[in-house]
Structure 1
């Protein structure tokens, strides 16, 4: 199995370091023979370790290690490490040879690590004893102890290399297992939202809820890190053995490299790609939008699943050495967080335009979720505080970007001074854009409140406007108005002023009122449809706008139909008590001309809201039909029947009613006439 270059180099270095000890083997054996001879002659010494019959057995085995344990215990109890020490070296050598032989059997394939837990435990216990012997023998100054320590060090080093390789095999196996069980990534790219659409809201994202990582976390928590309890237990024993033997650096290195690889593979399975700040700056918005959506998904998944799973795994494997486990999990988490933050910071530095606000706020909110992932139960308080601080710093920069982008909306309203009015008097695109923008922004109300609280000074102009409208909210204290509510109020004020200026571009006063009615009605409906905007602006704002809409309606009615009604007035038709026919004919003629002109013009105008369109037609009919029917019934018979009657009485009341029903639908059509 291939290993990383760094790991291979480490192993080569260890083998090179072991060569001198192997070359000294003959010296060690000679020293052992001398020690054995002293034992046979019955030499006595206060620091001599008692011999036993262990070597007398023809086939020593790992079942007979009590003598080694007693040797370890005796060595541990000796206080004076400088006195000469006579040690039964042959016993140590034999035990070391047994350990080396068992490792040879594993490496040759006679045994397979992880296949038989009893065999593995015997090996690991033996390696643990070699580790203790090596450490204890190295504490003595006598030549024989040093020689034996060198011999056990060679075996220990060989054992540690084997353990390191087995740890790597377990860890690489966990990567393959995680990849095999990982869910398929959702590669759907998000397209730019059309702000002018009335359907532009967060329903689109809700329709894709099944692909959101939060909806699948319960199932996927079992998939990462996808390592069996048995494998975790074996890796824990290996890690503890290596660290206790002084090989903690090697253990941590292989663990860190391979678990980082596993983490990156898990993120890659979710569609994550590492992108540099320069690449983000140069990327087209459509492409960048897709990367942002993927980033959000991966960060949420990491915060909920990957980071907690990785931390728990690390704590389980290094539970005997909690400080090392904490450092390992902290290092991995820090590397991952820096990777995430580099992208988020790059987004904060990109070109600021209105359509980018909501993706910036999505990332802002996602970082909030990431902050909550670092609680003190999984990380040390110092580590958690440091990571939260790093995330908060980038989050503040995103907040600054969001404030600037939102302020650009105000600037765009101020600068929208196009001199060409909407021909039909319908809802202006700026009105649609602004209201849909605000409606969607309210989905980020909490985030915008935060960023405006941190970065936005309250507008005195907004305060004056609120006082002028007499606005009262649930909280009577005006000082408690949220910063975002002030911003909404300011934007609405700017939009109202802009529409007022645009209405004056119409030469026809009637069309001016139709334009104001259309836009006012649209704004009013958007406020009613959005609970958030309604709450931010308050009930009095809604009442004020409703009153303004009624005023535009009355002004239109007066401006358009008052002249037609004057033609149907009784006043001035009688002279000396008799109907003056020339005046009557002139009245019918003027009415017909006025009505034709109104119908021809206003049937091409558009009232967007069906209810408003119906209300206008009903109000016009309520005034015009009774007046015309009454005038026709009272004076129509004064005109001579025949051609003269046809010439002046052009319409029946039903014709007038039908013609009114054709107003404001944008279609030019002649008035249909019924035959008498």
Structure 2
């Protein structure tokens, strides 16, 4: 019979036949591993029993009494000298128990533990010894990852991060399952507490790595910088690829690692810690982003205390920040949250909404603070800039934010936009009040264009050229009441409006307000023209201001369209009337000196009367020249029209008079004394009028 040789010393327990000697249960079997036990020949045994006996190794008998009585066979393989004829091969080396093999054992254990029977739990379900060995290996793994030289560098997690993540996942699952089966005050409590501590340590490590990766972002390339890159052909492709792989400020590898860590932390029961790190880190990034755009957080109280010059400087950075956030940063932040928390869409929406809602409300608060600041006409255009920014980026809210959050922020944005719009209406209507309040009693020297006319027309022209559509919308959507303060308008205001507007109700609210301002300006200018004692000068004043208004309207398609051709033609007609009045009050009186009445008596020219006529003409013309050369006609075309018109009246009449009666004066001293001007001289002197510089008549006919 061939003896079995075992690589290890072993004990075999076999039941003997009826005639076998029973095993003495009262005796304790002690085996010295260093000594060879004698082999007792066993009775006949079945092959199955022999095989079973050979499989039992390294048996420790703590309670021999529990063993069945029977014949025991103790075998020890014979020691052969090395190199003997019957020498056996050396035993194979012991296989190392690694984290991978331990992980497989734990996975198998967990699968069997998933649905333990109640009686098994009550009976005290045992935890295999290899779990302790597995925990030792996991702790070692975590320790290796915590070493400074294995910390995250840039976007790289340690090379064996796959096995590490698997270990963390398994530890979390092990703790969750064992905590559900065993009570902490049971005999397995210390082991479960140890598993919990290891899991907490792993989660702390992941939390630090999550924060580190989130903080190692790069700033997104801004649109103007992208344009600069695009202008360089050699960098087109590289810029495009960089933009795709660095969104939003993170490489694809970093995003993948962030996604892994978030998934492990959340599945391991550390969702709140993960979300807190994400919220704090990204909040700091967003604040830094706003600062780089030039916008800093300003409270409503601070806005109220700021001077307009300082506040005005804050508006362009706010507009830039708002547009950038709506078009670039908010969509980017949404995509970032969806990428990192791809397995948790509801959590992604919640984090994004809570994070960006604060930034959005901060931007809206600035707009509302500006809306309630002190009103003045010069603020209108900045208010309209804010209004357009809120209006044009409203759709971005619906496309970026989740439905509930979008609904709330849309309402907040609409409220801020309404306040800005209402304030803009009040500011524009305040222009009417500023015109009324100009009650100065000092006439403008030389009948020039009044500063009120310049300011109002330039204000209206810029408003219509740059903001007409926005003003139309603002007045249409945000006018609370119909303005019906008829006492503040000129007496014939309604009649004039009906004459050239056909029906004011057919015009938009903004057009109606614009016409009221224009009519009011006309009325105020007419009142101011009466400050001039010289009627001719008052006509020059009205012509100057009227022409200035028409030129501004003619140069603005938008304001001309609003006022209409009828209004324009009426104002042109008014100018012609003032022109006729001016000529009548000045030059027609001069022509009275050339009247033929009384010059002929009984068919003879009365020399004394003729001399007086020449003398009166000379004196009056000199006075007119002296006076009106100091008058101002700013518009060169109007100035030329006036000079041509005056020359057409005076020169032909004077030439005719001179040609008819100059011969009645004695040549020499008498002619020089009474005929001071030739027709050419008159024309020259007329061309010197309306320059605003009094001129003396240095040239004389010799």
Distance change in 2, residues 1:436/1:224 (3 Å): farther
Distance change in 2, residues 1:542/1:562 (3 Å): same
- The CA deviation string for residues 500-520 of structure 1, in whole angstroms up to 9 with x for no partner, is 111111110001100000111
- How many angstroms apart in 2 are the aligned matches of 1:309 and 1:37? 66
- How many angstroms apart in 1 are the aligned matches of 2:527 and 2:691? 25
User: What does residue range 23-62 of structure 1 map to in structure 2 within 5 Å?
Assistant: 57-62=95-100
Question: Within the alignment, does 1:359 sit opposite 2:382 as a pair?
Answer: yes
Aligned to 1:199: none
| Aligned partner (choices 201, 207, 214) of residue 171 of structure 1 | 214
- How many angstroms apart in 2 are the aligned matches of 1:527 and 1:249? 64
Tell me if structure 2 keeps the 8 A contact 1:655–1:671: no
- How many angstroms apart in 2 are the aligned matches of 1:559 and 1:621? 15
Q: Which runs of 5+ in 2 are unaligned?
A: 1-58, 67-93, 226-230, 232-238
- The CA deviation string for residues 174-214 of structure 1, in whole angstroms up to 9 with x for no partner, is 1xx229x67999xxxxxxxxxxxxxxxxxxxxxxxx9xxxx
Tell me if structure 1 keeps the 8 A contact 2:631–2:690: yes
Aligned to 2:264: 241
- How many angstroms apart in 1 are the aligned matches of 2:278 and 2:540? 73
| Aligned partner (choices 468, 471, 491) of residue 498 of structure 2 | 468
Q: Which runs of 5+ in 1 are unaligned?
A: 1-35, 44-55, 186-209, 211-217
Aligned to 2:423: 401
- How many angstroms apart in 2 are the aligned matches of 1:372 and 1:264? 23
Aligned to 1:104: 143
Aligned to 2:634: 608
Question: Within the alignment, does 1:440 sit opposite 2:439 as a pair?
Answer: no
| Aligned partner (choices 310, 314, 333) of residue 310 of structure 1 | 333
Does the residue aligned with 2:572 lie in a helix, a strand or coil? helix
Does the residue aligned with 2:400 lie in a helix, a strand or coil? coil
- How many angstroms apart in 1 are the aligned matches of 2:564 and 2:640? 28
Does the residue aligned with 2:99 lie in a helix, a strand or coil? coil
Tell me if structure 2 keeps the 8 A contact 1:127–1:156: yes
Aligned to 1:280: 303
- The CA deviation string for residues 330-375 of structure 1, in whole angstroms up to 9 with x for no partner, is 1122111222222222212222111122222222222223433212
Aligned to 1:51: none
- How many angstroms apart in 2 are the aligned matches of 1:63 and 1:665? 105
Task: Compare relative contact order (CA 8 Å, sep 6+) and give the higher one, 1 or 2.
Answer: 1
- How many angstroms apart in 2 are the aligned matches of 1:353 and 1:612? 34
Distance change in 2, residues 1:508/1:74 (3 Å): same
Question: Within the alignment, does 1:94 sit opposite 2:133 as a pair?
Answer: yes
Distance change in 2, residues 1:270/1:221 (3 Å): farther
The offset of 1:660, in angstroms, is 0.8
Question: Within the alignment, does 1:69 sit opposite 2:99 as a pair?
Answer: no
The offset of 1:57, in angstroms, is 3.7
| Aligned partner (choices 370, 391, 399) of residue 347 of structure 1 | 370
- How many angstroms apart in 2 are the aligned matches of 1:485 and 1:284? 32
- How many angstroms apart in 2 are the aligned matches of 1:538 and 1:417? 29
| Aligned partner (choices 479, 482, 486) of residue 455 of structure 1 | 479
- How many angstroms apart in 2 are the aligned matches of 1:93 and 1:644? 141
Aligned to 1:548: 574
The offset of 1:251, in angstroms, is 0.5
Coordinate RMSD, CA, aligned: 3.0
Aligned to 1:648: 674
My pick for the range that moved more, 443-452 or 496-505, is 443-452
Does the residue aligned with 2:639 lie in a helix, a strand or coil? helix
The offset of 1:278, in angstroms, is 2.3
Aligned to 1:121: 162
TM-score (normalised: structure 2) = 0.78
Tell me if structure 1 keeps the 8 A contact 2:446–2:631: yes
Distance change in 2, residues 1:549/1:655 (3 Å): same
The offset of 1:124, in angstroms, is 1.1
Tell me if structure 2 keeps the 8 A contact 1:617–1:661: yes
Q: What is the number of equivalent residue pairs in this alignment?
A: 588
- How many angstroms apart in 1 are the aligned matches of 2:499 and 2:282? 61
TM-score (normalised: structure 1) = 0.81
- Bigger Rg over Cα: 2
Question: Within the alignment, does 1:379 sit opposite 2:379 as a pair?
Answer: no
- How many angstroms apart in 1 are the aligned matches of 2:274 and 2:291? 26
- How many angstroms apart in 1 are the aligned matches of 2:483 and 2:224? 49
The offset of 1:467, in angstroms, is 4.8
- The CA deviation string for residues 628-666 of structure 1, in whole angstroms up to 9 with x for no partner, is 222222222221111111111111111111111111110
Distance change in 2, residues 1:440/1:342 (3 Å): same
Does the residue aligned with 1:527 lie in a helix, a strand or coil? helix
- How many angstroms apart in 1 are the aligned matches of 2:678 and 2:447? 30
The offset of 1:153, in angstroms, is 1.7
- How many angstroms apart in 2 are the aligned matches of 1:183 and 1:168? 28
- The CA deviation string for residues 277-334 of structure 1, in whole angstroms up to 9 with x for no partner, is 2222222221221122222222222222222222221121112111111111111221
Question: Within the alignment, does 1:586 sit opposite 2:586 as a pair?
Answer: no
- How many angstroms apart in 1 are the aligned matches of 2:676 and 2:126? 133
